[in-house]
Amino acid sequence: MLVGLLRLLALLPLRVALALGAGVGRSTWWLLPGRRHITRVNLAIAFPERSEAEREALGRAHFAAVGMGMIELISCWWAPERRLRGRYEIEGGEHLEQALAAGQGVILLSAHFTSLELATRLLCQRFPVTAMYKPHRNPVFRHVMQAGRDTHADVQTIPFNDVRGMLRAIKAGKIVWYAPDQSRRIKFSAVLPFFGHPAVTNIATSRIARMTKAPVVPFFMYRETHPEGGPYWRLVIAPPLPEIPSGDDEADAVRINALFEGAARRAPEQYLWMHRKFKGLPGRDVYARSS
């Protein structure tokens, strides 16, 4: 029933559907107190210079952006190409073209923003991309997501924990989308600053680059408004990060965290603040509620 409802939403004009998604997202500010609390804590850590009222407004805008991201998700699965044509722009595509022309694989370094899934579909209109992903626990949604990718995007997928598969793909000359910004205690992690606060950080990017000799190319997508009105997406591909790997994986991860901070500051409502970014710190829980 839910899949059927989502298919109906995908038939709406894109501008109407995104406005509806934003409205649903705003309503969940009150319906999801746990996520609201996590968002408030994250924003207080990341933007201490802002007033509480400003951070509250940013939190609500973030929930609206998440709602729009859900509409983008179903558009990614089911929207025909004509609905997206002329609605996006790719900046810096020459950086991927140069790597492919040289026969190199690429670590396409990104982070978790609300336009995550749509970013991959739009990029795949120009470049073949292999994406690291976490399979959905529900088999129905897992099937729907894969069918949508197979229909509308030339994207291959690798489970997020299949490191060997990732290495094979890069060594075979493929572009592999990789987002190491979520906090997770893994073998290659360290507590490093993010927005000036300690955070469990994945430091494997440099190790992967060293093993594959692949350039690390930053990639982010921002939801904007078209100059003539309506939704518009800007895909930004930056030059390869110089001197990564440097031989110091933690120092490289600090630089990558700073890169993610800059991207998040460019469109702060679109970064995934609902995630417990500062979890797992030794001896403290920043998300614990005061009694």
Instruction: Identify the pLDDT of residue 148.
Output: 62
Go through the domains of the chain in sequence order and give each one's CATH number: 2-270 (3.40.1130)
Once rounded to an integer, what is the mean pLDDT over residues 138-142?
Answer: 70
Q: Of 155, 159, 184, 213, give the one whose Cα is nearest residue 280.
A: 184
Instruction: Identify the pLDDT of residue 193.
Output: 96
Of 35-49, 87-101, 244-258, least confident by mean pLDDT is 87-101
Helices (H), the chain: 2-9, 14-31, 33-46, 52-78, 81-84, 93-101, 116-123, 139-152, 163-171, 204-212, 249-266
3-state SS, one letter per residue, for 145-212: HHHHHHHHCCEEEEECCCHHHHHHHHHCCCEEEECCCCCCCCCCEEEEEECCEEEEEECHHHHHHHHH
Instruction: Identify the pLDDT of residue 58.
Output: 98
Q: What mean pLDDT value characterizes the chain?
A: 88
Q: Which tokens go with 118? A: 């749509």
Q: Report the distance separating Cα 216 and Cα 252, nearest Å.
A: 11
The position carrying tokens 């900046």 is 91
Tell me the whole-structure pTM to 2 decimals.
0.91
Cis ω for the linkage preceding 239 (within 30 of 0): no
Whether 250 shows a pLDDT value over 90: the answer reads: yes
Whether 49 shows a pLDDT value over 80: the answer reads: yes
Instruction: Identify the pLDDT of residue 291.
Output: 53
Are 115 and 221 contacting, i.e. CB atoms less than 8 angstroms apart? yes
Whether 149 shows a pLDDT value over 80: the answer reads: no
Other beta carbons within 10 angstroms of residue 123's beta carbon come to 27
Instruction: Identify the pLDDT of residue 5.
Output: 78
Q: Which tokens go with 220? A: 């982010």
Angle between helices 33-46 and 52-78 (to 10 degrees): 120
Once rounded to an integer, what is the mean pLDDT over residues 170-199?
Answer: 89
Once rounded to an integer, what is the mean pLDDT over residues 191-195?
Answer: 96
SS3 49: coil
pLDDT band at 196 (very low <50, low <70, confident <90, very high): very high
Which are the contacts of 283, defined by CB distance < 8 A and separation ≥ 6?
Answer: none
